[in-house]
Amino acid sequence: MELTILMPCLNEAETVKTCVEKAEGYLRANGIDGEVLIADNGSTDGSQALAAAAGARVIHVPQRGYGAALLHGIRAARGKYVIMGDADDSYDFTALGPFVDKLRSGYDLVMGNRFRGGIAPNAMPALHRYLGNPVLSGLGRLFFKSPVGDFHCWLTAFRREPVLRLNLSSPGMEFASEMVVKATLNGLRIAEVPTTLSPDGRSRPPHLRSWRDGWRHLRFLLFFSPTWLFFYPGLALLLASAAAAIWLLPGERSVGDVTFDLNTLIFATGGIVCGFQAVVFYMLAKAYAMRSGLLPRDRVVERLRTMFRFETGLIVGGSMFAVGLGLAAYAVGAWGSRSFGPLPLSSLRIVVPSVMLLMVGLQIAFASALLGILHLEQDNAEADAPVVSLSDARPPTL
């Protein structure tokens, strides 16, 4: 079978029959060997019987959620290609030709773009049209260098086998973001085609909850991009705080009528520690995500991991700790010279950097140890791989 037209369904009795008939009509009109598949998510309004009567194959999805319905539908699909779209009559199932053409030409994922194809009046809330979709799609393109301009178009086509290998798992509305992100990260061929969006044909409110589902999409994008979640903010904080600390170490500074002194220095060194922690979190998150298969392998991170082994971390972290300890000893000596009495505030210019170096040095040592633990299984697997010597590489006997 070449094509499965998949529709998730939850109480769509008003529109599911129309959608199935349009999809069946498209298959017949174009001579495509295909099926219409309804992944029903527990409808209580008779949607299942209406869809079956119109010619669709109906499967029951026990797990609630838009993504869960699509996942079960993709697994149950019989077609080489799958086109999925809502069963609310907002998408035109008689105009699927551009999607099929792209799939036949070799693309793995073909996304509809409603902003290029046209959005009818009252088809999309203003909040989604001018804020939600542009912002989330823009972040997706920024974070992952994805070519997709409309991350949340639910009229989407793909080759079934490559998408199954992506191990999609999101049960909710963020399923759309997961598909695009993982397809981009795994190097699938992606294309976009203009598509139209019409007002849906149902009288009840949609299942989508704007703020809740928008946050779930944003959270997913951040979780799958440790670079933007941890590295860039952490590096910016680290560099800005380090510059401020270096500027303030010799003494107080004034900018106009504002004076910056020890209090600002304490905040600056705190920013250095927090920024460094965020960069470490980036390395740990990347290592874990790559090890567990959530993200593909990253050559830059693997090279850094090779350079930043446990032994290196001990040397670098231990050196910083030793310098911090030396400064602390100097401060204690200065305190002793005053018979351990009150110290001037200027002593904080020694104590504060000392505490910062002690903290960062320990963090480097501990982080390198944790990175080593995360890669124990991978290193052991590589060590256990059979070694083939040159003498074993003989040509086959004919």
Q: What is the pTM of this model?
A: 0.78
Tell me if 277 sits within 8 A of 363, measured CB to CB.
yes
253-275 as b/e: b if 16+ CB within 10 A: eeeeeeebbbebbbebbbbbbeb
For the beta carbon of residue 10, count every other beta carbon within 10 angstroms.
19
Query: What is the average pLDDT across 330-358?
Result: 88
Q: How confident is the model at residue 375 (pLDDT cuts 50, 70, 90)?
A: confident
Q: Which amino acid is at 302?
A: E
- pLDDT for residue 209 is more than 80: no
Question: To which H or E segment does residue 159 belong?
Answer: strand 156-159
3-state secondary structure of 293: coil
- Nearby residues of 107 by Cβ (< 8 Å), 6 or more positions away: 159, 189, 190, 191
316-335 as b/e: b if 16+ CB within 10 A: bbeebbeebeebbeebeeee
Q: How confident is the model at residue 379 (pLDDT cuts 50, 70, 90)?
A: low
Q: Are strands 109-113 and 81-84 parallel, antiparallel or unpaired?
A: unpaired
**Which contacts of 96-101 are long-range, i.e. CB under 8 A and separated by 24 or more positions?**
96/5, 96/23, 96/26, 96/157, 97/30, 98/193, 98/194, 98/195, 99/155, 99/157, 99/193, 100/3, 100/30, 100/32, 100/157
What pLDDT, on the 0 to 100 scale, is given for residue 201?
Answer: 83
| Rounded distance between C-alpha atoms, residue 319 and residue 159, angstroms | 54
- pLDDT for residue 380 is more than 80: no
- pLDDT for residue 21 is more than 80: yes
Q: How confident is the model at residue 385 (pLDDT cuts 50, 70, 90)?
A: very low
Tell me if 321 sits within 8 A of 357, measured CB to CB.
yes
3-state secondary structure of 273: helix
For the beta carbon of residue 217, count every other beta carbon within 10 angstroms.
26
3-state secondary structure of 387: coil
Tell me if 175 sits within 8 A of 181, measured CB to CB.
no
Q: How confident is the model at residue 232 (pLDDT cuts 50, 70, 90)?
A: very high
Please write the tens of the pLDDT for every residue from 153-207: 989 999 999 999 998 988 888 898 899 999 999 999 999 999 999 998 887 777 6
- pLDDT for residue 270 is more than 60: yes
Phi and psi torsions of 238, nearest 5°: -60, -50
Burial class from Cβ neighbours inside 10 Å (0-12, 13-18, 19+) for residue 101 reads middle
- pLDDT for residue 360 is more than 90: yes
Out of 3.30.1280.10, 3.30.479.30, 1.25.40.10, 3.90.550.10, the CATH code matching 3-223 is 3.90.550.10
Tell me if 44 sits within 8 A of 11, measured CB to CB.
yes
Mean pLDDT of the chain: 89
| Rounded distance between C-alpha atoms, residue 93 and residue 87, angstroms | 10
What pLDDT, on the 0 to 100 scale, is given for residue 378?
Answer: 56
